[in-house]
């Protein structure tokens, strides 16, 4: 808990001529706010236009759509910086016209108390962060104003940034769209994590446009935001044309059958995606699952699928399992919180018995009856590739073992004899 005073001392050391080696600074839970309340004179950061790299168009498509349809803006626009509580930290952090150390490449400040005031101060310092490649500010108190300021500063002052983690803040739609514009124009950004940030439909549609044009982004996490099924539908065409994305996380984002069908259809044309997370959505239905099963058979590049959901019935679990069985390279399957049932357990047993690729099967949150446990045990007995299995007997969750210990023993013996 070094606090702002201790952090200032660290920064002063980084800025000194004696520092020629420090590349990584990590202060989780340091009690940082980045705004000195003991000094009364505020100095707000200057505004700098974000340059547009040659690879991307000057105008972000979402800007034009919002201009033509003001009602589409389902989040309040930022209305300027909040009242200053003290001096912005931009000046001392850039003392002598220097960034926080010419060698600093990674700055990790998660689990602090950085709010909009601290974000604006940090943004001012970031305008000279030419060496920075990784910035993690997760689990803070940053909302739309602070995130918009960060997006502007990173676009103009951090030309080498490759990873940005802002998960578990309060960014909202306005900040989310500002970050989408930054990602749309960034020539270097590879990993962006905005999980759990109160994002909505407008932000989801904006990032679908990002995936159509950005040539560098490989990992995008928008899980646990209320993007809506309408926004999820936009990711299907985006996946069809994208040639760089490796991992897409859309778990718990309000996706329905329509959005899942669109993503499955896009997956048929996509040639690069290796990890897809769509768990905790309402994806079950007669329209979506057949499309996903077909995509699983055709998308040979996919390695990881997380699709667990309470809306999945045993027959739909079985459909996914049979499709994965014939997939040539899928190594990890997660069907957490699904209604496995006897049909699903039988299909999963066939997957275990017949697959030589599957390395991990996760069924946590999916209570299994003794019979279903026995089926999994029989399948595991013939498997030689599985390394990780999560399976929860229903008696653990409901306190009813019904005396069927021999079914549990079948799985236990299979685990004991499993070579991996």
Digit-coded pLDDT (tens) for 271-310: 999 999 999 988 766 666 788 888 887 888 999 999 888 7
CA Rg value for the chain: 24
pLDDT score recorded for residue 137: 96
pLDDT score recorded for residue 370: 84
- Report pLDDT digits (tens) over 140-198: 999 999 999 999 999 988 899 999 999 999 999 999 999 999 999 999 999 999 999 99
pLDDT score recorded for residue 85: 37
User: pTM of this prediction?
Assistant: 0.84
pLDDT score recorded for residue 352: 93
Which residues in the chain come in under a pLDDT of 70?
36-101, 284-288, 393-408
Type and span of the H or E element at 388:
strand 388-390
pLDDT score recorded for residue 349: 94
Is 205 in contact with 235 (CB distance < 8 Å)?
Answer: no
Is 234 in contact with 208 (CB distance < 8 Å)?
Answer: yes
Is 281 in contact with 252 (CB distance < 8 Å)?
Answer: yes
Contacts of residue 23, Cβ cutoff 8 Å, sequence gap at least 6: 103, 104, 105, 106
Comparing C-alpha atoms, which of 93, 81, 261, 277 is closest to residue 193? 277
Comparing C-alpha atoms, which of 257, 220, 252 is closest to residue 239? 220
Beta-bridge mates of residue 276: 248, 305
Q: What is the dihedral of CA 14, 15, 18, 19, to 10 degrees?
A: 40
C-alpha–C-alpha distance, residues 157 and 418, integer Å: 53
For the beta carbon of residue 359, count every other beta carbon within 10 angstroms. Answer: 16
pLDDT score recorded for residue 15: 75
pLDDT score recorded for residue 350: 95
């Amino acid at each position: 808990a070094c606090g702002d005073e201790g952090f200032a001392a660290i920064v002063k050391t980084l800025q000194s001529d004696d520092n020629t080696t420090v590349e990584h600074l990590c202060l989780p839970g340091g009690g940082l706010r980045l705004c000195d309340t003991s000094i009364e004179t505020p100095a707000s950061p200057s505004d700098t236009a974000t340059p547009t790299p040659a690879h991307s168009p000057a105008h972000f498509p979402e800007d034009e759509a919002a201009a033509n349809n003001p009602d589409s803006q389902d989040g309040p626009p930022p209305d300027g910086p909040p009242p200053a509580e003290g001096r912005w930290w931009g000046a001392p952090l850039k003392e002598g016209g220097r960034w926080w150390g010419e060698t600093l490449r990674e700055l990790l400040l998660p689990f602090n108390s950085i709010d909009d005031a601290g974000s604006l101060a940090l943004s001012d310092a970031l305008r000279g962060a030419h060496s920075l490649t990784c910035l993690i500010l997760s689990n803070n108190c940053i909302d739309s104003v602070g995130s918009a300021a960060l997006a502007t500063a990173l676009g103009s002052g951090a030309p080498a940034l490759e990873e940005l983690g802002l998960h578990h803040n309060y960014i909202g739609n306005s900040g989310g769209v500002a970050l989408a514009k930054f990602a749309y124009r960034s020539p270097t950004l590879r990993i962006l994590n905005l999980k759990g940030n109160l994002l909505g439909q407008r932000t989801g549609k904006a990032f679908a446009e990002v995936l159509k044009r950005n040539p560098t982004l490989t990992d995008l996490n928008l899980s646990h935001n209320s993007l809506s099924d309408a926004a999820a539908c936009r990711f299907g065409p985006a996946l069809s044309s994208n040639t760089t994305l490796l991992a897409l996380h859309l778990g718990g984002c309000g996706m329905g059958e329509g959005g899942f069908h669109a993503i499955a259809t896009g997956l048929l044309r996509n040639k690069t995606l290796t990890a897809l997370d769509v768990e905790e959505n309402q994806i079950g239905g007669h329209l979506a699952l057949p499309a996903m099963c077909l995509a699983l058979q055709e998308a040979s590049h996919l390695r990881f699928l997380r699709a667990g959901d309470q809306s999945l019935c045993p027959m739909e679990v079985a459909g996914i399992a049979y499709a994965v069985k014939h997939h040539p390279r899928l190594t990890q399957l997660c069907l957490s919180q699904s209604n496995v049932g006897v049909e699903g357990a039988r299909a999963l047993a066939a997957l275990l018995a017949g697959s030589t690729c599957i390395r991990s099967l996760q069924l946590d949150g999916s209570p299994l009856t003794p019979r279903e446990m026995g089926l999994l045990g029989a399948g595991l007995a013939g498997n030689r590739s599985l390394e990780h299995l999560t399976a929860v007997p229903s008696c653990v969750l409901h306190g009813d073992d019904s005396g069927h210990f021999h079914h549990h023993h079948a799985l236990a013996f299979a685990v004991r004899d499993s070579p991996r």
